[in-house]
Structure 1
């Protein structure tokens, strides 16, 4: 069984916001993209920069790395432009009893 960690109450993650959670040495950005909850590794594959600090585009469900401008698809973890060319890890998000959780397997 894979570890599932609590993020926050759903009410504390409204559309257009992000929360960062840590599991072991892994940081995960959990985004509310216009009501769709998505999670990716909070690490740009280009230079390890913090993706969750970047600009969220709710219409496209992407986040832009604040360091060099690579845009990542929150649904797939794939970069949409250079300089990043490798995807970041993505994670399943679920809501149980009003609490947002992430499957970190």
Structure 2
């Protein structure tokens, strides 16, 4: 089962920035690049740190962990640099009528 969650207005998230959301117990980093939004797991797989507090690399479609600088792809969740070696989950993110929606599967909540 999948559920789409309306989180906030797109205009509430500046381009090139990230914001943390807790969706049914799943911590997600919502990233805006231009008018596109991406959603990935908010916790770095190397060190238990919030990715939403890291730097967004717009040209590379990556977010960098603020602790040890591992960069994660916003489209695949795969780490692009060490020390992280494990991916973070990615979720479907869309903008509908100006609102950011993220879809979380039931499996992700468990």
Q: TM-score, normalised by structure 2?
A: 0.88
Please, which runs of 5 or more residues in structure 2 have no aligned partner? 106-110
CA contact (8 A) 1:43 1:88 kept: yes
Deviations 1:34-76, CA, capped at 9 Å, x for gaps = 3321110000011221111011111111111011110111111
What is the aligned partner in structure 1 of residue 37 from structure 2? 37
Question: Following the alignment from structure 2 to structure 1, what is the Cα–Cα distance between the partners of residues 9 and 55?
Answer: 23
1:25 counterpart = 2:25: yes
Could you list the structure 1 runs, at least 4 aligned residues long, displaced by more than 4 angstroms after superposition: none
Question: Aligned-pair distance for 1:18?
Answer: 1.8
Please, which runs of 5 or more residues in structure 1 have no aligned partner? none
Question: Following the alignment from structure 1 to structure 2, what is the Cα–Cα distance between the partners of residues 96 and 34?
Answer: 15
1:104 aligned counterpart, secondary structure: strand
Instruction: Provide closer, same or farther for how the CA distance between residues 97 and 34 of structure 1 changes in structure 2, counting only shifts above 3 A.
Output: closer
Question: Following the alignment from structure 1 to structure 2, what is the Cα–Cα distance between the partners of residues 35 and 59?
Answer: 14
RMSD: 1.2
CA contact (8 A) 1:39 1:93 kept: yes
Count of residues in correspondence between the two structures: 105
Deviations 1:5-49, CA, capped at 9 Å, x for gaps = 122112212311222110232110110123321110000011221
